[in-house]
Amino acid sequence: MSATIIDGKAFAATIRGKVGDHVSRLKETHGITPGLAVVLVGEDPASQVYVRSKGKQTVEAGMNSYEHKLDADTSQADLLALIDTLNNDADVHGILVQLPLPGHIDSDLVINSIDPAKDVDGFHISNVGLLGTGQKSMVPCTPLGCLMMLRDHLGSLSGLDAVVVGRSNIVGKPMAQLLLGESCTVTIAHSRTRDLPDVVRRADIVVAAVGRPEMVPGEWIKPGATVIDVGINRIEAPERGTNEDGSVKTRLVGDCHFESCAAVAGAITPVPGGVGPMTIACLLANTVTACCRANGLAEPEGLTA
């Protein structure tokens, strides 16, 4: 293995430290405490874990955490009414509605009912449009975390050739917009891209966000390239044996085949411990940014796009 391992867990701790420092200054200098409201509808186990982790880290950063847990059969009208209340609550600077929502609720309608200035997920159509036209916006957390790690490792990204594998609205498309904003030459590749290996092989930066386990092998990677692996996939791991119920144990892998890519790349993020920890750290950063903008204060340095 020759690649430098980009430690997302350590870098996320640094970001959370910067968030905490800025929150302390907001309290001491302006008497303002940033507040994040998280709305969970239903009892999806993974969502419950995410919400608990978000709440814990919000409090640890010195911010106010407001959790709203609703039954799975909550009506769309009641959810929209809650969001309207949060939109008009001056103590709430960031609003996040945990996805996925139950099937009877229109996710797009809910997301677009959030005040764009409080949309710390960066999913509102207004923020999507602002980001796409190079204007000030709330930026989706995962792409923002990827950008922060790239800046930290490479410094200037200007002129570099970047390939984003995956075209989702949550990661692929906003990631491409952020890289364009850094003056990269950007290609969005996907499952129907012709000669995908050759497209990826020319990139100085590869961001893999396609959701297919170990899809990108080392032979696709340009020697010395920086690889950001956004994928989190659970696959069977027979070498680990079986669980008490007889099922095969599993392990987490990314969208890149780590060992072969690490042998060629200049730097790579691991899975787990790479991009994942940055997502919540950037959620906290976005909440502080939203608070500063709402109060006409300077945005926190190093915590925005």
**Residues involved in catalysis:** 54, 98, 121
Q: N- to C-terminal Cα distance for the chain?
A: 32
State how far the Cα of 87 lies from the Cα of 8, in Å rounded to an integer.
32
Q: Give the ranges where 243-275 is alpha helix by DSSP (H).
A: 258-262
Instruction: Report the DSSP beta bridge partners of residue 25.
Output: none
Dihedral over alpha carbons 255, 260, 263, 269 (to 10 degrees): 20
Instruction: Report the DSSP beta bridge partners of residue 283.
Output: none
Dihedral (CA of 25, 30, 33, 35) sign: negative
Task: Name 215's Cβ contacts closer than 8 Å, sequence gap at least 6.
Answer: 165, 208, 231, 255, 256
Please report, for residues 84, 135, 231, the alpha-carbon distance to residue 113 in angstroms, rounded to integers and kept in the order given: 8, 21, 29
Give the closest residue to 137 by CA, choosing from 79, 181, 88: 181
Give the closest residue to 209 by CA, choosing from 122, 276, 280: 276
